[in-house]
Chain A
Amino acid sequence: MSEPVSMQVFDISASALSAERTRLAVISQNIANAQVTKGADGEPYRRQRVTFRSVLEEEVRRGRAGGLPAGGVRADVESVPGDFQHVKIPGHPDADKDDFVRMPNVNLVDELVDMVDASRTYEANLSALRTWKQMLARTLEMTR
């Protein structure tokens, strides 16, 4: 890319901000659906999680980076596999013959901890971005 490195840094920060925002959106979705015992597919809500990957130069070259910069972050959303929790709730519409209901594999405490982390990371990246922008802006004013 014929862009100065100092400019590419912006894109890398931006990708991190996007990634954290995706993460936060997923966390919000998990929290919102934590009690859903029967989704559209008839199954309890399955927890979603975000995995972060570095964007490789090769991907950018082949146009498979979705517009993300090399060295940036890519957030992929996936379902968390595993068994659902069986909770005894007599009288629940989705309870089985033994009064057990399958609940989503969402742990609210974990989600909240994750949320705080995502939020802090977002702020950190935003701070880095602003600092970088200021540095360049000041460099432009160097001679005044």
Chain B
Amino acid sequence: MSDLTGGFDVANKLMDFTSARARALATNIAHASEPGYKRVDVDFAALVESFRAERERGDAGALAKARPAPAIDRVAAAGRSGNSVDFEREQVQLDKNALLHELATFFVNSKLNTLRSAIRGQA
């Protein structure tokens, strides 16, 4: 049975992160012209770490505890007005993020369809 339901938790947690990131990026674009505004982003390192902790070090529940944390990007260079939003870069991050989110959605849908088929007894 776990073959049919496995992977849900990872996909769902990933979507938590991609949703949070989408919000952060949208905020950045909204403030793209504001002097002094510093871009925010969500670091996926927390997700990667907790995934590895759970899978490689057997720390059960590590993945469930991972939370996306929007934070000010300290590395991004600021322009003359002190604004650190690079319009092209922000757009591209949105695209990347959307693709990843869509992949996770596809995976979840695929699993759900498989489960439904199994319950119905037919494809």
Contact = CB atoms under 8 A, between A and B. Distances in A.
Direct contact between A and B judged by beta carbons closer than 8 A: yes
Nearest to A126: B88
A10 B86 contact: no
Contacts of B99: 7, 133, 136-137, 140
Q: Is the interface of A mostly helix, strand, loop or mixed?
A: helix
A66 B76 CA distance: 5
A13 B92 contact: yes
A67 B73 contact: yes
The winner among A7, A63, A67, A136 for most chain B CB atoms within 10 A is A67
B66 to A, nearest CB: 14
B77 interface: yes
Interface string A75-98: 000000000000000000000000
Interface stretch (B1-9, B55-63, B100-108, B114-122): B100-108
Contacts of B103: 140
Interface residues of A, number: 20
Interface string A6-49: 01001101110110010000000000000000000000000000
Contacts of B77: 66-67
B23 interface: no
B102 A140 contact: yes
Interface of A: 2-3, 7, 10-11, 13-15, 17-18, 21, 63, 65-67, 129, 133, 136-137, 140
Interface of B: 44-45, 48, 73, 75-77, 86, 88-89, 91-93, 95-96, 99-100, 102-103, 106
19 contacts: A2-B45, A7-B96, A10-B93, A10-B95, A10-B96, A11-B89, A11-B93, A11-B96, A14-B88, A14-B89, A15-B89, A17-B88, A18-B86, A18-B88, A65-B75, A67-B77, A133-B95, A140-B103, A140-B106
